[in-house]
Amino acid sequence: MSTSVGTAVYTDTRVRTAVHLTNAIMGTFEHILAHLGLSPGYLSRHWDSIETGLQTWIAEGSLDDVRLECGDPTDPQAVFSIPLSYEVSGSGDITFVTSQARVTRTLAKLQSVPAGTTYRLVASYSQPHTPVDGWSETTAADTTAMSAYALGGVASGPDASASLKYFSRS
């Protein structure tokens, strides 16, 4: 009986963390698009499948990184990467933190992209993951020739946290 209760608490905490991080990630991407002057249309039209994918993969611990890639995938103008880290702790600490203020301060310093630039979301995984409708296999843009800037934490909760990294052309 005690094993069952422990599992239920862990699952519930991981699901709550997945919902919290998904909301923070989606809000961060909305904020970035607004700052860059790009239409949120694609994000809005695919909101349910994006949200379902992120929540599923964070809850199971398979999501390694989710990116907002702006421009041609073979030569992007900018890439905003949100890597996730997972820490299994037995503390059960239910503190959730989001840092939208930090994102806002950082965006004020970033270059813009040309009006009408297209974008896409790309997920990568650290282990096998559950397939989710609306998501398909693709290759992430190559960022090796781009300058990278760590922008700090996006959100954290029990068992997982997300940070933000920005890649741009020099």
13, pLDDT greater than 80: no
For residue 98 the two structure tokens come to: 């989001």
For residue 73, give every residue at least 6 positions away whose Cβ sits within 8 Å of its Cβ, in sequence order, or none.
120, 138, 139, 140, 141
Q: What is the pLDDT of residues 50-98, one digit of tens each?
A: 999 999 999 999 999 999 999 999 999 999 999 999 875 544 444 555 5
Helices (H), 37-99: 41-45, 47-60
Using DSSP bridges, classify how beta strands 78-86 and 119-125 pair: parallel, antiparallel or unpaired: unpaired
| pLDDT tier at 144, thresholds 50, 70, 90 | very high
Question: Strand, helix or coil at 39?
Answer: coil
Top mean pLDDT of 15-19, 27-31, 49-53 is at 49-53
What pLDDT, on a 0 to 100 scale, did the predictor assign at position 1? 45
pTM: 0.84
Return d(Cα 104, Cα 96) in angstroms, integer.
19
What pLDDT, on a 0 to 100 scale, did the predictor assign at position 78? 92
- The least confident of 66-70, 104-108, 158-162 is 104-108
Return d(Cα 97, Cα 88) in angstroms, integer.
17
52, amino acid identity: T
Scan for tokens 């999501």, then name that residue. Answer: 63
Q: For the structural domain made of 2-168, what CATH number should be given?
A: 3.30.900.10
Return d(Cα 37, Cα 23) in angstroms, integer.
21
Mean pLDDT of 112-116: 84
Return d(Cα 85, Cα 20) in angstroms, integer.
14
